[in-house]
Structure 1
Amino acid sequence: MLLSRRSLLRSGALLAAAGSVGGALAPLGSRPGPAREFVLWGSSSAASALARDRPPGFPEVRIDVLLSRLLEVPGTSQAVSGDVSSQTLALRSREHPYRVLLGRGGLPAHGTVVVPTADGRAPSALVAEPGTVAGVGCTIRGVRGREGVVALHRVVPGAALAPGTGPQSWWRTALQEAHRGQVHLVWTGKNNIAEHWQVLADTRAIWAVEPERTVVMGHWHTWRDRRGTARWEQVRAVNAAYRHEYGQRFYDTMADLRDPRLWALPALRPHRIGSSAEDRRWLAQGLPPRSVVAADRAHLNALGNTVLAHGLARFLTGPAGLY
């Protein structure tokens, strides 16, 4: 009988047999169903921001790149470091636009215009995101040092437009359509976890775009979120709400980071995750082992990204039923 990669991942055999970080093995059977691409949404953790933080000799590991290898499908990340949940929502859903106030000047025939937004919301200044204003292709980015102000850049020159200050002038994301039909891994809200009600509402709106293909990833406790802090309770409350609302499409990030079976991957075994005194101290406080966390104590390092990518592959081919 032929065994598929899906069945091996579900049983954990692929994790144990993998001889490299990626665990790339020759296919042992056909994958059931269509091989959908995936995309990660969120902030710095979903962007693998500290992938270069790694022990000597260990490679840089991005979650999206390694997960793509494990699932043998294309994958990418649209995460932006520093984003809060409402910013992730604006990139994911055309129904939650940035309410740009173009004013009398309107949209110029070419180039860039700097304008405020009606509600003070603005995207990150780090990335120019693709979208449209009144059907015209425009990128948007925040303006450093100017809260609630954005720079719109017209992608293709054409006639100047004066769409007014209502919904016609609002910027709507192009990423919703660009990633339609893919599997969506949503990992957002840690940067505004204190506003847990907002995190839950924004996540619910993201889920609603394509619920049949969306996974909601739980948050993990960093050193700042350790037991006894207000953030410990906030993270627990959001994760509990996620588990209740999304059921089998909730991915328990924290559980996998603390799973010794994942620490035992051949590529990770030499690093003896969980065995040091500091690892044991962190585990005793309800945290992941210290060795999978970057120097800033707030993001995963390359070891942590490796654990998480394998955990996600196991989940997506198992309980989530998406691969």
Structure 2
Amino acid sequence: MPSPQPAAPAAPAAPRPAGGTPSLSGTEASRRLLAPERDARPLTLWGSSSMSSEGGASATPLAVRIHEHLALAAAPAVVHGYGVGATRSPHTLLMRGLDTPHLHRTDDPVTEPGRIPVSLGSGLTPSGRLRIPGDVAGVPGILDGSEGTWLFVPDDPSATVSEGIFRSALAAIAEGSRQVLWMGKNNIRDVEGVLEDTQRMWDAAADPSQDTLVLGQWPTPRDPIGSETADAVAAVNEEQQRRYGEHFLDLGGLLTSEEGLSCPPLAPLRLLEQATTQRALEKQIVPSGLRAPDDIHLNGWGNLAVSWAIVGRMRELRWL
């Protein structure tokens, strides 16, 4: 038996182009994670409880929070989540710094040192657990509406204010950011007001034609076809679709259509085979399989579908 012979030397490789090989290792997402772009633009999320993913801890094994999914998709860009439950569209303008109301100290008794009872000259009343960093007459602090009345809480407990213009510090954070808007559901019957407030947020972007994605409202069991709120939701969605085109994402259509309910995140649920889903579609409301127990928020599955749709549209807009 002949002894083993050493393998023949490999043929010399063809010289590589001066620019290196055109193929890249890994996926686009992994390359972005390991070699982040230094100038990645931040993303700011504005709105109420749907934007804060209230209800997202129900139905799924793990809670599904929209801002967390967007943070992963947009990495290394910073994602600021400013969704506050129960707020109305004027509260979003106040948070964004587009409204700068005159603040007056009231005669209400001070219950705790450093917590000054105030009112806003705009007449806007607080709602939800709203706490906005900002300043009054150069005094930094927090405008706190979480207890049902307005309080100004200076950063320095010894400081005091009697009146002045309140300016939100969130305006500086949002400067130059792209933004996602899901605002106005809590005052949706004021169709013109919601449209105007959303337009002001749109116009405040650095590049209004490119920097904003507006999310459409979805109908709950309180908004069945023919109801006043259903008509208002439809009117707002229709007008925003007309105004913003590809920068409007029709989530109502996603969550109340056979095509939407068969999208990849929801396909394993086989929603269309369930009688409750068919009854919901007859009423043109979101099926119970995607609703939280309170029936006014999305559960984890609903938030997963919304996150999937937002990421998809952001890719189409070349934000990602």
Q: Does TM, scored on the shorter chain, surpass 0.5?
A: yes
Shift of the alpha carbon at 1:52? 1.0
CA–CA distance in structure 1, aligned partners of residues 43 and 26 of structure 2: 20
Distance 1:133 1:204, change over 3 A: same
State the partner residue of 1:87. 91
Shift of the alpha carbon at 1:301? 0.4
Of 74, 78, 83, the residue aligned with 1:74 is 78
Shift of the alpha carbon at 1:268? 4.3
Contact 1:123–1:150 (Cα < 8 Å) also in 2? yes
TM-align CA RMSD? 3.0
Q: Are residue 216 (structure 1) and residue 214 (structure 2) matched?
A: yes
Distance 1:247 1:138, change over 3 A: same
CA–CA distance in structure 1, aligned partners of residues 296 and 161 of structure 2: 45
Contact 1:39–1:184 (Cα < 8 Å) also in 2? yes
State the partner residue of 2:10. none
- Worse-matched range after superposition: 199-208 or 32-41: 32-41
For residues 90-239 of structure 1, the aligned pairs below 5 Å read 90-92=94-96, 94-102=97-105, 111-124=114-127, 126-142=129-145, 144-145=147-148, 149-156=149-156, 160=160, 164=163, 169-210=164-205, 211=208, 212-239=210-237
Distance 1:134 1:293, change over 3 A: same
Shift of the alpha carbon at 1:66? 1.2
Shift of the alpha carbon at 1:62? 0.4
State the partner residue of 1:11. none
Distance 1:214 1:33, change over 3 A: farther
Contact 1:196–1:238 (Cα < 8 Å) also in 2? yes
Q: Deviations over 1:187-213 (max 9, x none)?
A: 111001111111111111111211242
Contact 1:82–1:124 (Cα < 8 Å) also in 2? yes
Name the % identity. Answer: 28
CA–CA distance in structure 2, aligned partners of residues 130 and 4 of structure 1: 42
CA–CA distance in structure 2, aligned partners of residues 131 and 102 of structure 1: 16
Distance 1:240 1:126, change over 3 A: same
Q: Are residue 48 (structure 1) and residue 53 (structure 2) matched?
A: yes
CA–CA distance in structure 2, aligned partners of residues 284 and 35 of structure 1: 44
SS at match of 1:240: helix
CA–CA distance in structure 1, aligned partners of residues 36 and 275 of structure 2: 42
Contact 1:142–1:151 (Cα < 8 Å) also in 2? yes
CA–CA distance in structure 1, aligned partners of residues 121 and 193 of structure 2: 19
CA–CA distance in structure 1, aligned partners of residues 146 and 285 of structure 2: 36
Contact 1:85–1:188 (Cα < 8 Å) also in 2? yes
Write the letter of the residue equivalent to 2:166: W
Contact 2:261–2:271 (Cα < 8 Å) also in 1? no
Shift of the alpha carbon at 1:135? 2.3
For residues 242-321 of structure 1, the aligned pairs below 5 Å read 242-257=240-255, 258=257, 260=259, 263-265=262-264, 268-318=266-316, 320-321=317-318
Write the letter of the residue equivalent to 2:45: L
Higher RCO by CA contacts (8 Å cutoff, separation 6 or greater): 1
Shift of the alpha carbon at 1:3? 11
For residues 49-64 of structure 1, the aligned pairs below 5 Å read 49-55=54-60, 58-64=61-67
SS at match of 1:41: strand
State the partner residue of 2:14. none
CA–CA distance in structure 2, aligned partners of residues 203 and 65 of structure 1: 24
Largest Rg, 1 or 2 = 2
Q: Deviations over 1:231-277 (max 9, x none)?
A: 11111100111112222211211233346467443x64432233211
For residues 1-20 of structure 1, the aligned pairs below 5 Å read none
Q: How many positions carry a matched residue from both structures? A: 288
Contact 2:144–2:152 (Cα < 8 Å) also in 1? yes
